[in-house]
Structure 1
Amino acid sequence: MKGLKLAVVILALGTIAISPKAHAKSLSNTRQIFISQVTAPLPNSQDEKTNDAKAYLERGFERFDKKDYHGAIEYFNQVLKIEPNNAYAHVGRGVASFFLEEYQAAKADLDKALEITPDIAHAYYFRGFTNYLLKDKQGAIADLQKASALYKKEGKPDLAQNANNAIQKIEAS
């Protein structure tokens, strides 16, 4: 069992490494989009809370960039206290949990993120690997196919190819 987990983590990280740190950097680069979407127009009474959520989200991604996944999760938790349906905080927390090998927690957050906002490529990508680690091969393949399609739609063919490569490796396993 431990060998299988190691193999899957190597597979996941290997596909990420195909284009050096592409997914982590892409997630980090995408954070500006995530953060800007937190600040949708709200009544003035909500401005302070929105600014707090935005600041916590930014700090969470900063911690994520530093591979301080526990610290990132703490900040994403703060966002979710203010905005429980913030899909991007769920994605950040889910991916951080994935890297901490807390796969059930990762899946729960990625599921919630996709329930809120069903077109987040990174959420499908990491949920695909999470599903595989949780022994749901078909779910993994379906999520990676969806991630690939979304990456193509976003104009990110290298990330789409990484997802396709992962699908081939999973199918061959």
Structure 2
Amino acid sequence: MACPIDPAELKKLKIFVDLCAAQPQLLNLPQLSFFKSFIEKLGGKVPEGQPEFGGAQPKPEEAKKEQEKEPEEKKEESDPESDVELDMEGCVEPDNEPEQPMGDASKEPSEDDIDKANELRSKAAAAYSEQNFEDAVKLFTEAIELNPRSALYHAKRGQAYLKLSKPNACIRDCTRALEINPDSATAYKFRGRANRLLGKWEEAAKDLRQACKLDYDEEADEWLKEVTPNAKKIEQHKLKMERRRQEKELRERQERVRKAQEANRKAAEEKARGDGGDGDDGDDFFSGAGGGAGAEDILNAFKDPEVAAALQDIMANPSNIGKYQNNPKVMNLVTKIASQTSQAGGFPGFGGAPGGAGGFPGGFPGAGGFPGAGAGAGGFPGFGGAPTGGPKTTDDLD
């Protein structure tokens, strides 16, 4: 018994079946609900979900690898700065005593005050040389109260505090000395040493470098060499952490872009599916696939959201093809499908319209219904065989 269906129609049906075999989820589209019901009545089962037109999805193995990478990245990013191995030998516990008297910064010392302060300074230096550091601190304090504008008095008292293992007190005095005289090499030297005793390696290296720059001193240079290894380790660690931070920001920015692109792609697909109309209209993107274009070509076309949306627009209203005359991606595919369907029934959705609506130069062949369905019925997937250029009137379809 001969098949009652035209060979050209069978060829299109085969294209449609190939599409469904490649992506069974196509049958979940509202336009194909009638065909899904038919399959389920015969005992078949259609997989859940919607078809993907956005390109290749990552393989399960690749997705698993990506998931495994994330914990590693988080682990790396959580490295604390304390992981840097530093030589803390020679460091002391910080002193937390009340601040020492700094004198009245607004006081204008008289000549008599200056003379008395110089005498006290000499006594303080003598006490220091005799290692009477407590006495030296007291004498320098008296000198500072008489002449609080002397950077040297503050720096020297800071030196005495170092001998008493009071690095914080030394730092306060040296900082005050630098406020009075920013070029005090002595203040930088002793503040650098105090920072070293507290384990503040970067601050120590910075102060000691500045001290040697202002007035080279062998002792300051030795102290600088002592703190440099730890200071470099911390500097390299911070550079590493900064690089990781920047890499993390880049990954997050790329992920935001990827998600935005994915959202746009899905929105375009949803719009394309929504614009496809009801399954009975005969204008969805499956009808009239054409013998030559093939399932693979159609799937590839739908990997580009722009092309997919354009095809849906054209299939919903063939006269819209004029909007895409200057879009080579869309027109190349339309031309290819048109050249193939010219032998098998016309471009989808172009049949039955008065005046041969189609908008493409020369007109597309009119799309009839499934055999026996009548002119312009637009059944599934059916295309008639009207001559190229489209019918002049609806009467020509008879």
Tell me, yes or no, whether TM beats 0.5: yes
Equivalent residues in 2 for 1:71-82, closer than 5 Å:
71-82=135-146
**Which has more radius of gyration?**
2
Higher relative contact order (CA 8 A, sep 6+): 1
Aligned partner of 2:123 among 59, 75, 99: 59
Question: Offset of 1:170 from its aligned partner?
Answer: 1.3
For residues 213 and 123 of structure 2, the distance between their equivalents in structure 1, rounded to whole angstroms, comes to 30
Aligned partner of 1:110 among 148, 161, 174: 174
Residue 158 (structure 2) aligns with? 94
Q: Deviations over 1:84-133 (max 9, x none)?
A: 22211111110000111011111100110111112222211111111122
TM-score (normalised: structure 1): 0.67
Say whether the 8 Å CA contact 2:91–2:198 is kept in structure 1.
no
Q: Higher helix share goes to which structure?
A: 1
For residues 165 and 95 of structure 1, the distance between their equivalents in structure 2, rounded to whole angstroms, comes to 17
Instruction: Report the CA distance shift for 1:172/1:73 in structure 2 as closer, same or farther (over 3 A).
Output: same
Identity among equivalent positions (%) equals 26
Counterpart residue type for residue 7 of structure 1: G
For residues 78 and 124 of structure 1, the distance between their equivalents in structure 2, rounded to whole angstroms, comes to 23
Q: Does 1:83 align with 2:140?
A: no
Determine helix, strand or coil for the equivalent of 1:84.
coil
For residues 146 and 122 of structure 1, the distance between their equivalents in structure 2, rounded to whole angstroms, comes to 10
For residues 104 and 163 of structure 1, the distance between their equivalents in structure 2, rounded to whole angstroms, comes to 19
Q: How many residues align?
A: 129
TM-score (normalised: structure 2): 0.30
Counterpart residue type for residue 90 of structure 2: A
Counterpart residue type for residue 211 of structure 2: A
Counterpart residue type for residue 151 of structure 1: D
Instruction: Report the CA distance shift for 1:53/1:170 in structure 2 as closer, same or farther (over 3 A).
Output: same
Q: Does 1:163 align with 2:220?
A: yes
Question: Offset of 1:139 from its aligned partner?
Answer: 0.9
Instruction: Report the CA distance shift for 1:47/1:167 in structure 2 as closer, same or farther (over 3 A).
Output: closer
Residue 28 (structure 1) aligns with? none
Gaps of 5+ in 2: 1-86, 93-107, 231-398
Runs of 4+ in 1 over 6 A off after TM superposition: none
Aligned partner of 1:70 among 134, 139, 154: 134
Equivalent residues in 2 for 1:39-54, closer than 5 Å:
46-54=110-118
Gaps of 5+ in 1: 10-42, 153-158
Q: Deviations over 1:58-97 (max 9, x none)?
A: 1111111111111111111111111222211111110000
Question: Offset of 1:162 from its aligned partner?
Answer: 3.7
Question: Offset of 1:141 from its aligned partner?
Answer: 0.5
Residue 147 (structure 1) aligns with? 211
Say whether the 8 Å CA contact 1:87–1:114 is kept in structure 2.
yes
Q: Deviations over 1:120-169 (max 9, x none)?
A: 222111111111222321111111101111224xxxxxx2x443333232
For residues 222 and 187 of structure 2, the distance between their equivalents in structure 1, rounded to whole angstroms, comes to 17
For residues 48 and 165 of structure 1, the distance between their equivalents in structure 2, rounded to whole angstroms, comes to 40
Residue 7 (structure 1) aligns with? 90
Say whether the 8 Å CA contact 1:79–1:86 is kept in structure 2.
no
Say whether the 8 Å CA contact 1:57–1:76 is kept in structure 2.
yes
Instruction: Report the CA distance shift for 1:162/1:84 in structure 2 as closer, same or farther (over 3 A).
Output: closer
For residues 152 and 223 of structure 2, the distance between their equivalents in structure 1, rounded to whole angstroms, comes to 24
Question: Offset of 1:57 from its aligned partner?
Answer: 1.1
For residues 128 and 165 of structure 1, the distance between their equivalents in structure 2, rounded to whole angstroms, comes to 12
